[in-house]
Amino acid sequence: MTLCVTVQCVRALTYLEFQGTEKYPDLVFTANAAVVRGKRAYLANFFHLERKGERFYYDRWFKQNGYETTGSQDIAFEGAGDGLWAGHGDDRLFSGVGPRTDVRVLEKLAFELKDGRPFKVIGCRLIDPRFYHIDTCFCPVGPELALYYPHAFDAITVHNLKNEIELIPVSEREASKFACNSVAVGKNVVMPAGNDETAKALTDRGYN
């Protein structure tokens, strides 16, 4: 599973660099910018003070590129780090809450991202401090299939996840290597090295 395989699956890649952002090194984690649905972006309100200034740059970029932006400046929320779409037509938004995202944002997301297409927001309680965002322990690789590390979540969340999507459990050893912090493009998955068990589980289901 290599980056070059995935790059061949997309039409174009654009490299972006914000100017005047030297004091915001975590801007490299651009998935944390927002959760996007259509042309509407619900912006992050970062938990840690040193990241709060990033919002200005993300807000400006989205607006310059034709997106409508929204999002609370009072309720902590860490963008797509804690909000992952799955399901046919992106009809489910799995949102991590606990370490860095406030549970109160769930209602806001459900309201602010309305676009005429039905969807529901599924709150997922994170309980292991090693997995501070949902994208470190849960990864949709298809509309109805996701990787997950069960022990990152409380029991109620595990129950709810099993009712919402087919799950491939990841071992603690490979979860600690961030096997779930992967990217899927079609049937191609890019993941950190050293996660052979997880790679095999995906290969057995027809993934590259």
The CATH number for 59's domain is 3.75.10.10
Q: Is the pLDDT of residue 6 over 70?
A: no
Q: Are 154 and 144 contacting, i.e. CB atoms less than 8 angstroms apart?
A: no
Whether residue 128 has pLDDT greater than 70: yes
Tokens 């790059």 identify what position?
7
- Total domains, the chain: 1
Rounded Cα distance between 54 and 33, Å, is 8
Q: Rounded to two decimals, what is the model's pTM?
A: 0.93
Query: Are the C-beta atoms of 131 and 152 separated by less than 8 Å?
Result: yes
Percent of the chain at pLDDT > 90 equals 89
- For residue 4, pLDDT beyond 50: no
**Amino acid identity, position 93:** L
11 pLDDT band (50/70/90 cuts)?
A: low
Q: Where are the alpha helices (DSSP H) in the chain?
A: 3-7, 54-64, 105-112, 155-164, 172-175, 196-203
- Tell me whether residue 44 is in a domain: yes
Whether residue 208 is contained in a domain is answered as no
Region 38-57 average pLDDT:
97
pLDDT score, position 2: 37
Predicted pLDDT of residue 17: 81
53-62: list long-range contacts, CB under 8 Å, 24+ apart. Answer: 53/23, 53/24, 54/21, 54/24, 54/26, 54/27, 57/18, 57/21, 57/24, 57/27, 58/33, 58/34, 61/16, 61/18, 61/33, 62/33, 62/34
Range of the domain at 58: 3-203
Residue 54 lies in a domain: yes
Does residue 176 sit within a domain? yes
